[in-house]
Amino acid sequence: MHPPLLVPSILAGDHARLAESAAAVERLALPWIHLDIMDGHFVPNLTFGPGTVAALRRTSGLFFDVHLMLDEPHRYVQPFARAGANLISIHVEPPGDHAAILARIRELGCQNGIVLNPGTPASAIEPLLGGVNLVLVMTVQPGFGGQSFRGDMLPKISQIVAWRRARGLDFRLEVDGGIDLATAAECRAAGADTFVAGTSFFGAADPAAFATEFQRMP
Ligand code: DX5
Ligand code: ZN
């Protein structure tokens, strides 16, 4: 299993100071940052696009974990790869040739990931597991930060981790939504290794202390 990785989500930072949020993460020697891309269709909210990611890329050496919440991700994987994404994850819910889009992400030189909403069963991604670098289990309904963690997603995490073990695969198992020190520990116990934290990180009185505390997790 991968060691636990804390991935701050810039959604919860000050959007007038995106570069400063990324720099604060980099100063803590956290290697990844999570960038939420919303289209107003797949989720009822909008964030930012490839132009903003490219601008951030010019200021940051972080690994960009780009979470596409889009109805038509195939139209956007190339622009986000060109903008400097390191990993691009797509949702399984919109219809389309997911395997082809995931392969395309790799051709573009990025790692790839597949994402499931809380209402989507693990079986929906089972056929894709052999071709992904990361599985992202949403632990809230996507669209907004600051929601409560859904403990009923823990069995789904365990199921996917069991498939990973049985097949000798080594994709990361990421969780996103309502993650704090307590809920991260629950997800860790279920087998998650990659922990997106928006509100709990950027809203912490002392994000450095939060990161230190997080890194004590077994
Ligand atoms: C929600 C996003 C999350 C969000 C998590 O749609 O995918 O990445 O930033 O925020 P918190 O950690 O506040 O739940
Ligand atoms: Zn996200």
- State which of 196, 201, 202, 210 you would mutate to test the pocket of ligand 1, scoring each by most atoms of that ligand within 8 A of its C-beta: 196
Query: What is the CA(107)–ligand 2 centre distance, in A?
Result: 23
d(CA 26, CA 118): 30
Q: Relative to the CA of 147, which ligand 1 atom is closest?
A: 14
Compute the Cα dihedral for 174, 116, 133, 113 and give only its sign: negative
Query: What is the CA(106)–ligand 2 centre distance, in A?
Result: 20
Q: Are 73 and 50 in contact (CB under 8 A)?
A: no
Task: Please give the chain's pLDDT, 218 residues, in tens.
Answer: 799 999 999 999 999 999 999 999 999 999 999 999 999 999 999 999 999 999 999 999 999 999 999 999 999 999 999 999 999 999 999 999 999 999 999 999 999 999 999 999 999 999 999 999 999 999 999 999 999 999 999 999 999 999 999 999 999 999 999 999 999 999 999 999 999 999 999 999 999 999 999 999 98
Q: Is the pTM of this model over 0.75?
A: yes
143: left (phi over 0), alpha (psi -120 to 50) or beta: left
Q: Is 176 a catalytic residue?
A: yes
Q: Catalytic one among 170, 176, 180, 193?
A: 176
Query: What is the CA(142)–ligand 1 centre distance, in A?
Result: 7
d(CA 191, CA 75): 33
Q: Which amino acid is at 168?
A: G
- State which of 148, 199, 210 you would mutate to test the pocket of ligand 1, scoring each by most atoms of that ligand within 8 A of its C-beta: 199
Both structure tokens of 124: 């929906």
Which residue owns the Cα nearest ligand 1 atom 7? 142
Overall CATH class of domain 5-214: alpha beta
* Number of neighbouring beta carbons within 10 Å of residue 98: 23
Q: What is the pLDDT of residue 6?
A: 98
**Ligand closest to CA 184:** 1
Q: Is 193 a catalytic residue?
A: no
Query: What is the CA(42)–ligand 2 centre distance, in A?
Result: 13
Burial of residue 216, with CB atoms counted within 10 A of its CB: 0-12 exposed, 13-18 middle, 19 or more buried: exposed
Q: What is the pLDDT of residue 1?
A: 79
Q: Relative to the CA of 200, which ligand 1 atom is closest?
A: 12
Q: Are 105 and 81 in contact (CB under 8 A)?
A: yes
Q: Among candidates 135, 153, 145, which has minimal Cα distance to 202?
A: 145
**Ligand closest to CA 8:** 1
Alpha helices in 38-179 (DSSP H): 50-57, 77-83, 98-107, 154-167
Query: What is the CA(206)–ligand 2 centre distance, in A?
Result: 22
Q: What is the pLDDT of residue 155?
A: 98
d(CA 129, CA 166): 12
Q: Catalytic one among 36, 39, 65, 193?
A: 36
